[in-house]
Amino acid sequence: MNIRLFQTEELVARALADRVASAVRQRPSIVLGLPTGRTPIATYAELRRLRVEQGLSFARASTFNLDEFVGIEPTHPGSFRYFMERHLFEGIDLPPERIHFLDGMAPDLDAECERYERNIANAGGIDLQLLGIGANGHIGFNEPGEELMANTHHAALHDGTRRDNAAQFGGDPTQVPQEALSMGMGTILKAAALILVATGERKARCVERMVRGPVTTRLPASFLQMHRAVEVFLDRPAASLLSV
Ligand code: F6R
């Protein structure tokens, strides 16, 4: 893993946005995989700034988001689609028809997961997949457990993950959906290049296990060790248990 260390969270966001911007400039028809969560908010703000100040264009790019809750509309403030509109899509020139999202309201969720896999394949696969990491080592909604799913699937969320997502549901974890759709670990590992971003001391332990520990379904992020093009963007607190 190619680890890139920065003093602060702000510097991580700036460097990551620059990294994404140069990939988009190099390949305007790039297919990006995108996460939600608290961590990428500053990076998305930087990308919006690069759009305004430097004319960075996403006009020929496509995006696939990693995951979405089951049972809420895309207009619900807790949905990941709503998050992406607010933090990124509204501020860049990405054509709506090239924004791809899992539909958590689909009547047949298995068929919806198959559709997503097909759409990714039809787009030629993901060129650059951005990832966050849960404090329990989850990636997308691939939660730690006895086994991992390779393909896009229907996942039950852990209580801790529901607590972490409660803010957009009136602060009440019981209001957070119990299920989500998520790209599988295999879907993620098929991307040509991966960039994982983690900030804050809360992520230090799972970052250390991801980088140094055994590959185990108990820490889904450890599977990234098997990919040949992974960059990890960290601030000092997230890297505090690594000797880098
Ligand atoms: C969400 C996703 C999740 C988050 C993870 C970290 O699309 O993929 O795996 O990346 O839960 O979330 P934050 O950034 O809020 O700590």
Give the mean model confidence (pLDDT) for residues 108-127: 98
* Other Cβ atoms closer than 10 A to 159: 11
Q: Which of 127, 143, 164, 235 is catalytic?
A: 143
Backbone phi and psi for residue 122, each to the nearest 5 degrees, phi listed first = -65, -30
Taking only the tens place, the pLDDT of each residue in 53-98 is 999 999 999 999 999 999 999 999 999 999 999 999 999 999 999 9
Q: Which residues contact 219 (CB under 8 A, 6 or more apart)?
A: 137, 144, 206, 209, 210, 213
Percent of the chain with pLDDT over 90: 97
Q: Is 143 part of the annotated catalytic residue set?
A: yes
Residue 190 reports pLDDT greater than 80: yes
Q: How many CA atoms lie within 13 A of 241 on its CB side?
A: 17
> Among residues 117, 145, 137, which one has the least CA distance to residue 209?
137
Residue 244 reports pLDDT greater than 70: no
- What pTM was estimated for this model as a whole? 0.97
| Beta pairing, strands 128-131 & 2-6 | unpaired
Nearest CA to ligand 1 atom 5: 134
CB 117 within 8 A of CB 183: no
Q: Is 159 part of the annotated catalytic residue set?
A: no
Return d(Cα 58, Cα 60) in angstroms, integer.
Answer: 6
How far, in Å, is the centroid of ligand 1 from the Cα of 157?
Answer: 12
For ligand 1, mutation pick of 63, 66, 185 (most atoms within 8 Å of CB): 66
For ligand 1, mutation pick of 81, 133, 164 (most atoms within 8 Å of CB): 133
What residues are in contact with ligand 1 under a 6 Å CB criterion?
A: 35-39, 66-67, 80, 132-134, 138-140
